[in-house]
Chains A and B, each alone.
Chain A
Amino acid sequence: MRFGVVVFPGSNCDHDTFHVLKEVCSQEAFYLWHKDHDLKNADCVVLPGGFSYGDYLRSGAIARFSPLMQELQEFVQKGGLVLGICNGFQVLLELGLLPGAMLRNKNLKFLCEHVHLKIENDQTPFTNMGKKDQVLRIPIAHFDGNYYASPDTIEELITNDQIVFRYADEKGQITEEANVNGSRENIAGLINKQNNVLGMMPHPERASEALLGSEDGRIIFESIIQHLVRL
């Protein structure tokens, strides 16, 4: 399958995502330059983590104006798969492809550590290889990961089963303590109504090789591949 990894100025998980797709998952992977107008026939587009434009204004707020985002919107309209990781998730929020916004972490510090996630919805192109209620160990690394949306929006997300991952403890309990950054409803990952755009704060590419302490993140990439193969 063909995976395009978008490079914004300030992206810094682009190489990592590329490495996992190409070397670990043996897929065709290539970079997409933000100033271009070409998705190079990608089957799935990944918006990687990092600090696009330094995140000096608001995380993802400037990247959404990159020329390539026009093609991305059209790609999404046509049902193409888009995965936004960390800063990529923030860009998806700014683009309006996913609802809500990110606040600073509740302790007002950058946080980098392994957390546990519970899969809430396994009927998505990004989680079909996992099982509902399965607990994954995947690291986070962000300053602005405290998910916020209005109560109405949250209600809608729950009704439509759009919450894909929630912060949990190692047994899968959704607790306040496990909610490291203070997100509403412990939300760690969301999907759009059309079921083709996923945003998640944790970094699956950092948990795809045994040497790094967890391979749980591969479920996300393997699910995408599985979904595309089935098409």
Chain B
Amino acid sequence: MIDKKLLEEHNLTEEEYEKIEELIGKQPNITELGIFSLMWSEHCSYKSSKAHLQKLPVTGENVIQGPGENAGIIDIGDGLAAVFKIESHNHPSFIEPYQGAATGVGGILRDIFTMGARPIALMDALRFGPLSVPKNKTIAEGVISGIAGYGNCMGVPTVGGDVYFNECYSLNPLVNAFCLGICEKDKIFYAKAEGEGNPVLYVGSKTGRDGIHGATMASAEFGENLEEKRPNVQVGDPFKEKLLLEACLEVMDKNLIIGIQDMGAAGLTCSTTEMASNSNSGIEINLDLIPQREEGMTPYEIMLSESQERMLLVAKQETVKEVQEIYAKWDLDAVIVGQVTSDQRLKVFFGGKIVVDIPVQAVVDMCPLYHRESKVPAYLESRTKLDPVPLPEDYNSTLEKLISSPTIADKQWVFRQYDHMVQINTALLPGADASLLRVKNKKFALAITLDGNSLYTYLDPKTGGKIAVAEACRNLACVGAHPVGVTNCLNFGNPEKPEIMWQFQEAIEGIAAACRTFSIPVTGGNVSFYNDTEGLSIYPTPVLGVVGLVRDGNKPIGPGFKNAGDSIFLLGKNKNEIGGSEYLKYIWNMEKGRPPEIDLQEEKKVQEACIEAIENGLLNSAHDISEGGLAVCVAECAFFGEDRIGCTIHLNDEIRRDSLLFGESQSRIIVTTDSGNKKPLIKIAQDRNVPIEEIGTTGGENITLFHKEDKILDLSVRESYMIWKKAIPDNFKTR
């Protein structure tokens, strides 16, 4: 009997249930109800976000595949395509950090190779609570080793990512996994179920009871009953996935299949219905044939299982034998479990009886969409007002403290756990503004970066959204890359709260505006709502993953000072801004003020000047100014340089010293050049109306900074380097 309690357990409203009955013309049985609950969950249906996501620009002449498929695809020239996507695995990572993060990586990898691309790089955006809290350390440690455990075994390098720490993530960490793959433009595969009578094959791991209701779980707030949710988290087997990767790429390379879809969230339910829906066909499958690793599974459990490392594919009668041989070679099951039909229905058989018979369109496309109410949050007024802040007494100790903030400190402790070099394409090691990946036998290279400052977005969602895009593109500009495509992961609280919905709408508008300015299409991504635990929401956290093209990948430019005696230039302009800064947060414990302003046109010009200077071979290093401001940026330039060269900087701006040193004004890049290249560099900036100023020279063993006549900073590079380097590992020292 379907009652209120059952609907509640399935996260369906009574109105939604009535619509289901109307659509299928009968009362659904429990398996059918389970199928609808998964496919109509927020996670799968985007029912609260769809109306807003439509504001994002998704087209462009180089777009091969926009949103809606497993991943987005951009033409990168020379017959090649870049396939990429970002996805969240926040809820599972909180409940079971290692497996949650590991299966997040496994899922995003499958999204990429399902389309025929070999994954060439992974990155992760991680958000944790402060490391002073033991539970947060356990979560961070588990998540990082889970990412490493999966990616390393797969042989796909995890080339970086960003890591932020904030109290708002203490009960709700974020794990957003990004993957980039490459394939030949004319060898892309889609989730298609075409050709009546064609065999449907199940390949990969056997089905168990793990992960049942994963997508539903990701679509609700957490209460205090977390331990009970642990069985909802899937368990990853990266070795199986590695075999699956090689076998799938082999059948695709030989062009033996018609369509393929991975079984991620919502498992068999999602793959069968989406493939049929995409092709206006139907599918019938026999659950007795599904390889199972547990006994006595019900049709409900089999259809809803989220066991990992599984794929559904459609072959042709004449190729099916060869397909099975290839999977057998890789020691994997490849079982014919059903066939393509023309009746646009999903029919599922079990024990000789039909247990599901529903129209696929109803499941996939007819979920009610919501235009949820939105309201300006009450916190904004008080939070954006900044109380007077005293100037620091000593800038040296202030900078030393700031570089030990885990958000700013060296992340090598994280990155060295990831195999970031396998596939031998990593031309810039993790920690650089963007990761640079060579494409073998090509002159061009690919650059990727992730970015998203949630404090800015909390204080002003629209500006935060703009800055997330702008800064990601600025990171790319620092390695000489032109942005070509975006994927976004939008992590927000409960969309049923009007304040959260307002944050979401505003952030999307900001992202959309910035993407239009940079002419970069959003080719897909993921929305993660319900990041609330015990009623507390995270700060709105859009994470932007941007892919860029470097025309000549043979001379990588990194953030570190390269030679002593180079001239240091500032591209862009220092402004009197301090709101929303890491300085206010970490030194004064204030998460307040207005985030820095951003003029997107100005930003674009600064980036273009930097890219042109790199393309003309004028720069020895480039690093963008972000969290921690100019002082932290300059310190990092010294730390990232192999020889840890110091510098002397002279600034004359009429700006409060704390803002000048630690303010996070946008559209600024610190670059260095040989003295012989100064003139052409200045010309490039001036031709574009970009402010440029020579602010110092590299050399010496100290970071020395003068404001007007006063020496306000003078720190040993080696000593401050050790502070920066040890800040994170010191938190994890075993007692």
Contacts and interface: CB of A to CB of B under 8 A. Distances in A.
* Interface of chain B: mostly helix, strand, loop or mixed: loop
A55 interface: yes
Contact of A212 (B237, B329, B417, B421): B421
Contact of B239 (A56, A110, A209): A56
A10 B154 CA distance: 8
B416 A16 contact: no
B614 to A, nearest CB: 16
A139 B145 contact: no
A112 B420 contact: yes
Interface stretch (A46-54, A72-80, A120-128): A46-54
B700 interface: no
Contacts of B154: 12
Contact of A110 (B148, B423, B427, B553): B148
B155 interface: yes
B60 interface: no
A54 B238 contact: yes
Contact of B153 (A15, A51, A113, A212): A51
A16 B556 contact: no
Nearest to B555: A211
Contacts of B329: 35
Contacts of B554: 211
A91 to B, nearest CB: 15
A51 to B, nearest CB: 4
B155 A50 contact: yes
B550 to A, nearest CB: 12
Given A13-B155, A55-B153, A211-B438, A112 B239 contact: no
A110 B242 CA distance: 19
A12 B155 contact: yes
B244 to A, nearest CB: 11
Nearest to A210: B554
B639 to A, nearest CB: 16
Contact of B330 (A9, A12, A20, A209): A9
B12 interface: no
A209 B152 contact: no
Interface string A100-142: 0000000001111100000000000000000000000001010
Nearest to B331: A9
Interface of B: 145, 148-149, 152-155, 237-240, 242-243, 329-331, 412, 415-424, 426-427, 429, 438, 440-441, 553-554, 556
26 contacts: A9-B330, A9-B331, A12-B154, A12-B242, A13-B155, A16-B422, A20-B424, A23-B441, A51-B155, A51-B238, A51-B239, A54-B238, A54-B239, A109-B145, A109-B416, A110-B417, A110-B418, A113-B412, A139-B421, A141-B422, A206-B421, A206-B424, A209-B424, A211-B554, A212-B426, A212-B427
The list of the 10 closest CB pairs from A to B, nearest first, reads A12-B155, A54-B239, A51-B153, A141-B419, A16-B424, A112-B419, A110-B417, A113-B416, A110-B148, A206-B421
Interface of A: 9-10, 12-13, 15-16, 19-20, 23, 35, 49-51, 53-56, 109-113, 139, 141, 143, 203, 205-206, 209, 211-213
